[in-house]
């Protein structure tokens, strides 16, 4: 009997010790502000949604979440900086799934999407569209394609960067239709939209940064590049509805450098997951025509792993692989 009591007391003491050690390790984070990097410039859909998400999540973080824009290279720069940062929980990034999985096949980058990141959560999907000035002669995508065919080299289009999802969509159209047009990359979605507004390019393929300009009659939406029609523009067809076997599926998520401790992952996950379900955040996604789409850590990891070979096949099929 005495031995049994001693064993129970010892076992209970060990349990309490493990709890205390776990609480100590968990309580140690965060001890200073946390940087949340964004791969694009200010004012775009990624910037706006990430800032609201961080503001809401701040309620569950013991230290400030500092949002920092790191545009460059079509979003690649931030992903490289994130991959090279210390896995201590003080450098996070709003990663773009398409940039992660397709860019390594388009050009040399300083990250490996399978090895260099801790994927924490995916919180939405972007919607994309092709827009032209409202005073242009093209009322439909078919008319725009016909013009591009008949005027090789005259059409230019802007995007948020070479290698972006919308860039691949436009190059896909060029390949299947035998079109020669010129891509003009910019450092962010707002810049790309401003370019078409100012007449610097013929068209713009971009996420819904163009929405207010379509609504006020300055731009015309010719086609949706994603898999479903955009609720605020229900009359505009998708590429698939227009006869093309193509759709853009890409979204923003929260990630950190590889090797992030499990207790830190749990802390970050809790705060951002709660924020992603907040009515204010969901309302913003609706206003921006972004789709709520939640993946937790295991699901996000599986998504990335599955998407890598798909993007490799796509890039190679378009003849855009830098490893030729």
pLDDT above 70 for 224: yes
pLDDT above 50 for 3: no
The string of pLDDT tens digits covering residues 6-63 is 445 444 444 444 444 433 344 589 999 999 999 988 888 899 999 999 999 999 999 9
**pLDDT value for 73:** 85
- Contacts with 28 (C-beta within 8 Å, 6 or more apart), sequence order: none
Q: How far apart are CA 228 and CA 294, in angstroms?
A: 18
The string of pLDDT tens digits covering residues 260-297 is 999 999 999 999 999 999 999 999 999 988 989 999 99
pLDDT band at 231; cut points 50, 70, 90: confident
Are 33-126+250-317 and 128-224 equal in CATH topology?
Answer: yes
Average of per-residue pLDDT values in the chain: 90
**Which strands sit side by side in the sheet containing 65-69, from one edge to the other?**
65-69, 34-38, 91-96, 252-257, 117-125, 291-295
Find the mean pLDDT for residues 128-136: 97
Choosing among 1.10.10.10, 3.20.20.70, 3.40.720.10, 3.40.190.10, the CATH entry for 128-224 is 3.40.190.10
Q: How far apart are CA 57 and CA 144, in angstroms?
A: 44
Pairing of β 203-207 and β 156-159: parallel
Sign of CA pseudo-dihedral 155, 159, 161, 164: negative
Per the CB < 8 A criterion, the answer to whether 303 and 122 are in contact is yes
Taking the C-alpha atoms of 240, 246, 251 and 255 in order, what is their torsion angle to the nearest 10 degrees?
A: 160
Find the mean pLDDT for residues 172-193: 94
Q: Give the domain 33-126+250-317 fold.
A: D-Maltodextrin-Binding Protein; domain 2 (3.40.190)
Domain assignments of the chain as residue spans, ordered by start: 33-126+250-317, 128-224
- Contacts with 200 (C-beta within 8 Å, 6 or more apart), sequence order: 158, 184
- pTM of structure: 0.77
**pLDDT value for 318:** 85
b/e map 283-292, b = 16+ CB within 10 Å = ebbeebbbbe
Per the CB < 8 A criterion, the answer to whether 294 and 122 are in contact is yes
Q: State the DSSP H helix or E strand holding residue 156, giving kind and residue range, or none if neither.
A: strand 156-159
């Amino acid at each position: 009997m005495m031995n049994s009591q001693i064993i129970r007391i010892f076992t209970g003491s060990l349990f309490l010790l493990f709890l205390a050690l776990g609480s100590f390790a968990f309580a140690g984070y965060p001890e200073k502000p946390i940087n949340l990097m964004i791969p694009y410039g200010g004012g775009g859909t990624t910037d706006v949604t990430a800032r609201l998400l961080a503001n809401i999540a701040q309620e569950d973080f013991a230290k400030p979440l500092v949002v920092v824009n790191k545009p460059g290279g079509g979003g690649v720069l931030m992903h490289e900086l994130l991959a090279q940062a210390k896995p201590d929980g003080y450098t996070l990034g709003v990663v773009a799934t398409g940039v992660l999985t397709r860019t390594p096949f388009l050009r040399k980058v300083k990250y490996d999407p399978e090895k260099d990141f801790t994927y924490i959560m995916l919180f939405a999907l972007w919607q994309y569209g092709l827009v032209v000035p409202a005073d242009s002669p093209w009322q439909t995508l078919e008319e725009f394609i016909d013009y591009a065919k008949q005027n090789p080299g005259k059409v230019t289009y802007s995007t948020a960067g070479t290698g972006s999802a919308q860039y691949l969509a436009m190059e896909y159209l060029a390949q299947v239709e035998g079109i020669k047009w010129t891509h003009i990359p910019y450092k962010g979605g707002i810049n790309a939209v401003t370019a078409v507004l100012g007449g610097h390019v013929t068209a713009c393929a971009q996420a819904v940064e163009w929405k207010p300009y379509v609504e006020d009659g300055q731009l015309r939406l010719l086609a949706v590049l994603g898999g479903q029609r955009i609720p605020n523009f229900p009359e505009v067809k998708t590429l698939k509805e227009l006869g093309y076997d193509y759709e853009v599926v890409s979204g923003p998520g929260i990630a950190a450098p590889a090797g992030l401790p499990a207790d830190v992952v749990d802390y970050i996950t809790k705060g951002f997951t709660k924020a992603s379900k907040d009515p204010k955040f969901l309302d913003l996604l609706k206003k921006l025509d972004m789709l709520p789409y939640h993946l937790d850590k295991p699901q996000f990891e599986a998504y990335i792993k599955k998407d890598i070979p798909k993007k490799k096949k796509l890039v190679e099929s378009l003849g855009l692989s830098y490893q030729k």
